[in-house]
Structure 1
Amino acid sequence: MSNSEKKIEDTQGKYMRAVKGGHDINDASWQQCRVILTNQRIALVADGKLTIPLEDIDEMGERYDVNQAASTESNYSTLYVGDDIILLATADHETFRTNFYRAILDNAVIYVQHPAVKGGVVQNAEWQRGRLKVSEEAVRMVLEDGQKFAIDRDDIGELGIDEKVVADEERAVIEVEHSMDGASVETHLSGQEHHISVLKQLLEEGAERNRANLDLEPTERRVIMALYSGVSPFGISEFVGIDVEKVEEIYDRLIELDVVEVVRERKEVALTAQGRKVAGEAMGER
């Protein structure tokens, strides 16, 4: 291992070569192995040693159930390597996937426009370079102007891809919606094709968790759009034109659907007899 190569994970697992040269291997079987992940390659050590440079991996997908042996395995990752597909199962599936993303993306420099959109309004943010850091919870970025922010992997709404001129080149641009300080923002990300391809895959996993086919009433959608636009939760009644009790009912339903979350409980109180006595005594002392 060279001085520039760093080990990220060393664990036990098993692998299956499901496709070779573009053809399914229907009688493929699992082979126990040691899995070594570095910032340059994945090494699968069994009777022999299979080494896969990270730059040769086109995609880490979900499932490719080539046969029953594959379909009965609860969790595995699918490595697309040219015309070959290798299935890889490790002791901790989610940790390995995060470490795979770390291996490729940690300290990568990309172009960032943040926030490109805030509360539905286009901002005048300039493109600047940023450095990535991946964890199980978030993708963190430090920009060249010193700004720091994170995209929570469980807080991704919409995700899209566009083509734009960035740094004098036509590039793929990831447009990811997330929240910042309670407001909806959209951040745009671009850079080298390999980095953007893997980053898109990571962010898509988060977006997929939050996709739901919700059957919402028009008033509920108006409330959501008002919150998205930055209207205070306490100003929704007047803004949308419905009474406070109806707003509270909508909030309760949206909380159940995991569309909104409680940030702070508002206490509505009335004085008791003891309280009225204290207040009366206080007034008498003036």
Structure 2
Amino acid sequence: MTDKVHLRTPVKTYDNGGWVDVELIITDSDLVIGKKSISLKEIEDLEDIDIEGVSCIKIKKDGKFIIKLPLNLHQQVFKYIAFNLKADKFAVFFLSSATVGGVVSSGAQWEKGYFSVTDEGFWFLSAKNQKRIPIENLGSVKTDLRDVGGKQRKVLVLSHVEKSNVVTSLVLCPESTLEMLEGYLQRLFEKHKPAIKLSDNEMEILTLIYSGLDFASIENIAGMSTDELNSYYDRLVDSGLAKVVKIRKEIELTPHGVSMVDKISKR
């Protein structure tokens, strides 16, 4: 039996630094990009990215494929692949971005959909939204009691980083599924988190960077020499908690670093 063709459209693929015109065909089970056929159930992950100011879709399967679609088809194709890629998918209710930076989001609403987990990220999938959170942006996983519809319900609380803010999202599902998801995500989190134990000085520096202070200000507040602070910066960068953004060792925190500050602030 031949698969039903859902879409056939010209697209561009990004190859060796340039764009190539090809045809994209989407069927029940496959994507055909030019001469390359990819089984939907073998796609490992999916991501919305920007290349040279152009919105594109990055498909991970034995490497990566980057495609640029006509604007009116981009979201439709992204949604179809997100719902059908290789992932463990669970029917849930979720509240995405319930809090942002510790402040309750006024517009956040519970949605019925799926919680989907790949090797590199997890997804909140609904008819309206398909949101991917990289595992490296995950700060903590726990269960807690929250008021849902006037009743105290056990939910999965996920702390993650978005645009340098600590965001909290909630997942509601049967308790047996909840416990399995918590264990699953904890194992992924442990696998990806940096192996580093911070000293008191490093925790102070991490917190000062998060507050937006530059190198010279931190040098004065921490009472350190330039070489001493540089050595701490090197360690934070090497451990994956920060990245260099200026030649003079100005650094900003990675999602792991922001998550660490969130934990430090709760002590």
TM-score normalised per structure 2:
0.49
TM-score normalised per structure 1:
0.46
Instruction: Return the structure number with greater strand share.
Output: 2
